[in-house]
Amino acid sequence: MTPSGTPSGTPFSGVGVGLRRPHLAQVAALKASPVPFWEIAPENVVGQGGTRHRQVMQILERDPVLTHGLSMSMGGFDAWERDVLDNLRGFLKATQSPWHSEHLCWSSFGGANTHELLPMPFTREAVQHSILRTRQLQAELPVPFLFENVSYYAELGAAEMSEKQFLAEVLEGADCGWLLDINNVYVNSRNHSFDAKEWLEGMPLHRVQQLHIAGHAWFEEDQLVIDTHGAPVIDPVIELMQWVLPRIGRAVPVLLERDNDIPALEELLAERAALQKAYDVALDPLSVSGPGSGGSSRG
């Protein structure tokens, strides 16, 4: 079953790549898209001009794109500016992105923006607040809204529930789709000592419409795995993607995120190709030993 408000049968599948500034000129000059789709942050494009902007627009006109926002402070309290919402709506219509995603976190408070993905308290009150904000944003958007699970390094305040329960309750309460960031699950499992597969097993995987996958780094001085998006994806995260895909039971699109130490386009495309292979193997019914392609998730 597809949750209400999320599309089914979109043409997006396979492994896409986040479109980044250093690659724009090269990608724009290509005859055809080198990836099944790109992902782009609308707020980095709207209201801009000049050479790079022209390159972005050329690429968006030619290639399929998914949109992913970084700035709505979904779990926060600050009101969304009218022109920000108007610009976002216009961009979503122009690009025909099938959905739009944001992180389930907060970034700004009292008008001051930290531009950091900050953790929500895992409380009943914060569940209700997140549901309210998700519904408010959904009502403003012309396409279904998905939220993304974030990497969190600390609990904010005394938790009344687990992160897993928190996410599941917001997903159900807001009745929205899920952008499952598989690397964030892995990073959290390392930092908070839980088993990533066990964590995923009880989750509402039927709500997943897209995956994120990325690299991270271990910081010795902080004794923390930080979600840097600054390195290639490691094998355990690829394996986790392969484990979850058949359990989702649909060929949902996977997006490779790279935001720091961005390599040459060729290198990134080679990483994408390797991930695509792993994706195809995971979704090949003959090679799946899990629940098969029946379409429903476990648990």
Partner 1 sequence: MVEPAERTSALQGCLADLLLDQDGHSLFGADPAAFGAARQLHMEDQAALAHYKSRLLTYRSLVRSALEDPLPDCFPFTHALLEKAGQWAACVDAFLGSRSIQSSYYRDVNPAFVAWLAQSGWGQDRWPFLLQLAHYEYIEVEILRWPDEAPQVDLGALPKADLYVVFDGTVRNLAYAYAVQDASGGNPEPDAGETYLLAYRDGAGDFQASTLSPHASAFLARCLEGERVGEAARALGLPLEDGLELLWSLHAKGAVLGFR
**CB of residue 245 vs Fe ion: minimum separation in angstroms?**
17
Name the one range near Fe ion by CB under 5 A: 15-23, 69-77, 131-139, 177-185: 177-185
Q: Which amino acid is at 50?
A: G
Which residues bind to partner 1, rule: CB under 8 A?
43-44, 47-54, 70-73, 75-77, 80-81, 84, 106-116, 118, 120-121, 123, 125-126, 128-129, 132, 153-159, 222, 224, 226
> What is the C-alpha separation between 267 and 269, in angstroms, rounded?
5
Contacts of 125 (CB under 8 A, 6+ apart): none
Which among Fe ion, partner 1, none contacts residue 21 (Cβ within 5 to 8 A by kind)? none
Stretch that binds Fe ion, among 26-34, 108-116, 179-187, 266-274 (CB under 5 A): 179-187
Residue with tokens 């495309």: 269
Backbone angles phi, psi at 248, to 5 degrees: -70, -40
Give the binding range for Fe ion (CB under 5 A) out of 7-15, 27-35, 83-91, 212-220: 212-220
Shortest distance, position 285 Cβ to partner 1, whole Å: 42
In the list partner 1, Fe ion, none, the entry touching 281 (Cβ below 5 to 8 angstroms by class) is none
Nearer to partner 1, 52 or 62 (CB): 52
User: Alpha-carbon distance 80 to 77, whole Å?
Assistant: 9
76 or 215, CB closer to Fe ion?
215
Binding partner at 40 among partner 1, Fe ion, none, C-beta below 5 to 8 Å by kind: none
Residue with smaller CB distance to partner 1, 8 or 48? 48
150, 103 contact by CB (below 8 A)? yes
Partner that binds at residue 181, options partner 1, Fe ion, none, CB closer than 5 to 8 Å by kind? Fe ion
How many chain residues touch Fe ion (CB under 5 A)? 2
CA 84 to chain centre: 20
Rule CB under 5 A: choose which of 133, 212, 247, 250 binds Fe ion: 212
For residue 186, give the nearest of 259, 108, 143, 244 by alpha carbon.
Answer: 244
Stretch that binds Fe ion, among 11-19, 114-122, 207-215, 276-284 (CB under 5 A): 207-215
**Least distance from C-beta 54 to partner 1, angstroms?**
7
**Which of partner 1, Fe ion, none does residue 155 bind (CB under 5 to 8 Å by kind)?**
partner 1
In the list 102, 163, 181, 271, the residue contacting Fe ion (rule: CB under 5 A) is: 181
Shortest distance (Å) from residue 150 CB to Fe ion: 8
- Looking at the DSSP bridge assignments, the partners of residue 180 are 211
Return the closest-CA partner of residue 253 out of 76, 41, 9, 34.
9
Contact footprint for Fe ion (CB under 5 A): 181, 212
